[in-house]
Amino acid sequence: MNMHAKHSADATTVEEGLAIQEEQAKYDDNFATETAMANTLLTPRFYTTNFDELDAINVDGIRAEWDELIAQMEADPNKGHFKKNEDWDHVDWENMEPQLKKEFIDFLISSCTAEFSGCVLYKEMKRRGNNKDITQLFQLMARDEARHAGFINDALREAGLRVNLGFLTQSKKYTYFRPKFIYYATYLSEKIGYARYITIFRHLEANPEHRFHPIFKWFEEWCNDEFSHGEAFALLMKTDPKLTQGKNVLWIKFFLTAVYATMYVRDHQRPAFHKALGVDPDWYAHEVFAKTSKLSEQIFPITLDIDHPRWQPTLEKLQRANVQIAEAKAQGGVGGKLREMAGAAKAAMCFFSLYTIPAKKHEVPENTRLVPAY
């Protein structure tokens, strides 16, 4: 390990980045860690999978595209980027509007957990695998995600909080997904992450008066890492054409619907956060969905029809059902449980309505690789 690296941004391997963060664990805060530990439909999860199946992937059929991507990631253009410098403005946490502070901390903890979730999965694949192509890729992606999680933890530390990432690794519940489901879910997570970060970055670039925290200045390089990771999963799916054909297209539609719907509901839980950014959550959702849909055409044969007349009203109904569920849980008792069940039934009907909107079909291009263009 490079003993001169004092910050996770300078670490060249995931092991080095995590060791630096473990050394700083004395700053951990129970609230942040307990929040990150939560497992609900809307919170980031930790995943495990069939690592032997992943290890058996053969990339020879896409060798040119694969080697190009690996060379780009090995060049490590963002090394040293994810740490504070002279552009990091002072944050007055003490006088931040209370609801904004609450929602922004929730955003940071959720983002840290999501980034670290990828790190844990990728690191485990690197540890278990013997396929040089695959283990090299997952080592590089784990390196990036460890940096991102460490950087968010630095931002949380200013608010007197910190997620204990080592404790999360050992204690958070893991969800098993078959490799193909990992591909669909993680590909979309990386690409929608790019779309989310770049949309916020471009908006604040044009409207800097709404940049209430300096972390948003780092979003451009950050989202480029997300973009590269999405490219990797697109290539992994390309190694087996059956993954994007036949009945698997129904699974692709399921994951597209689930990821979009989850983002919509989760973002509408943070009205003060979006108001401070000067962003309307409905506008933001449509922008992110449109970008993600365009990007996903590189590998998926369908996109969701987000302009269908049933799409937006059903998302709004889903959000109201989620509010009902949350209020019912807070109410407690038999009455609360009945209201919660009714809300869950409404949410299920909304999801079914979204899923049954006819998808838009297109031809998948022969050349899969894309470059960030937004």
Lookup result for tokens 């569920």: 325
> What's the pLDDT score for residue 169?
74
H or E element, residue 47: strand 46-48
Give me the domains of the chain, ranges plus CATH numbers. Answer: 1-34 (no CATH), 35-308 (1.10.620.20)
Ordered DSSP codes for 240-291: -GGGGSTTHHHHHHHHHHHHHHHHHHHHTT-HHHHHHHT--HHHHHHHHHHH
Count of Cβ atoms closer than 10 Å to residue 49 Cβ: 21
User: What pTM does this model have?
Assistant: 0.88
Quote the tokens at residue 308: 């269908």
Could you give the CA distance from residue 196 to residue 86 in angstroms, rounded to a whole number?
Answer: 25
> What's the pLDDT score for residue 21?
59
Q: Which amino acid is at 299?
A: I
Q: Is 175 left (phi over 0), alpha (psi -120 to 50) or beta?
A: beta
Could you give the CA distance from residue 361 to residue 214 in angstroms, rounded to a whole number?
Answer: 40
Chain centre distance of CA 313: 25
Are the CB atoms for 59 and 225 separated by under 8 Å? no
Lookup result for tokens 């949350």: 326
Helices marked H in 78-209 — which ranges? 98-128, 132-158, 165-171, 179-206
Reading the chain (374 residues) residue by residue, the pLDDT tens digits are: 444 455 666 777 777 766 765 554 444 457 777 776 766 665 777 888 999 999 999 999 999 999 999 999 999 988 888 889 999 999 999 899 999 999 999 999 999 988 888 888 899 888 889 999 999 999 999 999 999 999 999 999 999 888 887 777 777 778 899 999 999 999 999 999 999 999 999 999 999 999 999 999 999 999 999 999 999 999 999 999 999 999 999 999 999 999 999 999 999 999 999 999 999 999 999 999 999 999 999 999 999 999 999 999 999 999 999 999 999 999 999 999 999 999 999 999 999 999 999 999 999 999 999 999 99
Please give the span between the terminal C-alpha atoms of the chain, in angstroms, as a whole number. Answer: 37
Q: What residues contact residue 146 under an 8 Å CB cut-off, 6+ apart?
A: 8, 11, 14, 17, 18, 21, 116, 119, 123
Helices marked H in 42-97 — which ranges? 51-55, 63-75
Collapsed DSSP state (helix, strand, coil) of residue 83: coil
Collapsed DSSP state (helix, strand, coil) of residue 174: strand
Of 26, 204, 214, 15, nearest to 104 by C-alpha is 214
Length of the chain: 374
Could you give the CA distance from residue 25 to residue 163 in angstroms, rounded to a whole number?
Answer: 8
Kindly state the DSSP code that residue 46 receives in the 8-state scheme: E
pLDDT in tens, 5-27: 556 667 777 777 667 655 544 44
Helix axes 333-355, 248-267, angle to 10 degrees: 130
Interior CA angle at 162 toward 159 and 165, to 5°? 160
> What's the pLDDT score for residue 7?
62
Collapsed DSSP state (helix, strand, coil) of residue 176: strand
Helix axes 219-238, 63-75, angle to 10 degrees: 160
> What's the pLDDT score for residue 307?
98
